[in-house]
Amino acid sequence: MNTIIGLVIIAIGSFGQSSSYVPIKKVKDWSWECFWLTQGIFAWLLFPYLGALLAVPEGHSLFGVIGSAGAPAVLKTVGFGVLWGVGGLTFGLSMRYLGVALGQSLSLGTCSAFGTLIPPLLPSLFPETEKITGVLIIGVSIAIAGIAVIGYAGALRSQNMSEEEKRKAVKDFALKKGLLIALLAGVMSACFNLGLNAGAPIKTLLLSLNASPLYATLPATLLVTFGGFITNAIYCIYQNVKNGTGKQYFSVSGSTLTNNLLFCALAGILWYSQFFGLGMGQSFLKENPVMLAFSWSILMSLNVLFSNVWGIVLKEWKGAGQKTITVLIIGLVILVLSIIFPQLMNN
């Protein structure tokens, strides 16, 4: 029963993340870099900070607990966050060039594999990680296969659609550029899970202070997102200077500014919900080591699943052809199988 509860919580958070790019369409008179930096303040600073406060036991302070975990753990966690920031940045660009469905599918597939398998393969760096198992490898392989099928569906879509249709579905559609960016995004985005594993001493310390297991991973999440914010802020401010878009933050009218801030906040909290849900869901999987180790891959697979649902809703697959849609559905079914496979093998 606990496993089902954990999976449902992770799924709810995943749906939030997969919906987080929808508010982009409601932001007015701001360039991409203005929107990205503003939503990042909410997604990577404000909401992670508020979430981390939930983990602090009475009589302790958040930064006091983090500091007590030791500088090596803190620096390593933030460092992986800086690297993840490259993934988060290019992840946003992959949406720009490939659309919500295909961009997330390719990026998250790569992220799923690297983020799940690297920690158990490097026990010296991540001593508190569960050992790698055959079930884990097979489960990740099934997930990657499903995502590869979805990627193939994206390639078929590109072949079947005219340039005009591609631009109508995704304004800045660019397949080759988007593919390279999506793969880079996936590799670097895996550093988020590496950062969470590096921050395990913080979680252990919180649990020793009788903190709630539901929120014990959230301070480490804050450190990772803080590192990612640094990377993204540097790039966005550079783009503001280069493109002369910095004035856009202040040139919009009062109602437009309010609109933009509200939708950036909505995008931010929806994005953060995936890791809030992951931390809570993992607390219900602690008695199921295989599912716990596979939880990162489950989150990424669900993100792909829900992002493609949004892709269908937003008509990104319109005009792609029946064969393409059939291949897409097959890929989604394989993803669902990858999610339930570890639990089936564990029974």
pLDDT tens for residues 70-126? 999 999 999 999 999 888 777 767 766 666 556 666 676 666 666 666 666 666 555
Mean pLDDT of the chain: 82
Query: Residue 267 and residue 28: Cα distance in Å, rounded?
Result: 14
Q: What is the pLDDT of residue 188?
A: 80
User: Tens of pLDDT along 228-287?
Assistant: 999 999 999 999 999 999 999 988 888 899 999 999 999 999 999 999 999 999 888 887
Is residue 315 classed as helix, strand or coil in its secondary structure?
coil
Query: Residue 244 and residue 327: Cα distance in Å, rounded?
Result: 43
Q: What is the pLDDT of residue 322?
A: 82
Residue 141 has pLDDT above 70, yes or no: yes
Query: Residue 226 and residue 76: Cα distance in Å, rounded?
Result: 12
Is residue 275 classed as helix, strand or coil in its secondary structure?
helix
Q: Is 234 or 136 the better-scoring residue by pLDDT?
A: 234
Going by C-alpha positions, the residue among 304, 115, 311, 257 that lies closest to residue 197 is 115
Q: What is the pLDDT of residue 263?
A: 95
Q: Counting every residue, how long is the chain?
A: 347
Query: Residue 68 and residue 64: Cα distance in Å, rounded?
Result: 6
User: Other CB atoms closer than 10 Å to residue 17's CB: what's the count?
Assistant: 25
pTM of the shown model? 0.79
> CA distances (Å), 21 to each of 132, 138, 141, 203, in order?
33, 31, 27, 30
Q: What is the pLDDT of residue 341?
A: 72
Residue 49 has pLDDT above 90, yes or no: yes
Instruction: Tell me the two tokens of residue 200.
Output: 């395990």
Q: Which residues contact 214 (CB under 8 A, 6 or more apart)?
A: 54, 279, 280, 283
Query: Residue 190 and residue 79: Cα distance in Å, rounded?
Result: 13
- Work out the percent of the chain whose per-residue pLDDT is above 70: 79
Contact, 228 vs 82, CB < 8 A? yes
Instruction: Tell me the two tokens of residue 74.
Output: 């803190």
Residue 191 has pLDDT above 70, yes or no: yes
Q: What is the pLDDT of residue 103?
A: 63
Q: What is the pLDDT of residue 56?
A: 93
Going by C-alpha positions, the residue among 42, 2, 194, 46 that lies closest to residue 114 is 194
Residue 169 has pLDDT above 60, yes or no: no
Q: What is the pLDDT of residue 112?
A: 67
Residue 347 has pLDDT above 60, yes or no: no
Helices within the chain (DSSP H only): 2-19, 32-40, 47-53, 62-68, 71-121, 134-160, 163-169, 175-189, 191-198, 200-208, 218-243, 248-251, 254-283, 289-313, 322-346
- Work out the percent of the chain whose per-residue pLDDT is above 90: 37
Residue 171 has pLDDT above 60, yes or no: no
Task: Find the range with the poorest average confidence among 5-14, 118-127, 336-345.
Answer: 118-127
Q: Is 276 or 302 the better-scoring residue by pLDDT?
A: 276
Q: What is the pLDDT of residue 344?
A: 64
Distance, CA of 134 to chain centre: 25
Contact, 292 vs 299, CB < 8 A? no
Instruction: Tell me the two tokens of residue 51.
Output: 């979430």
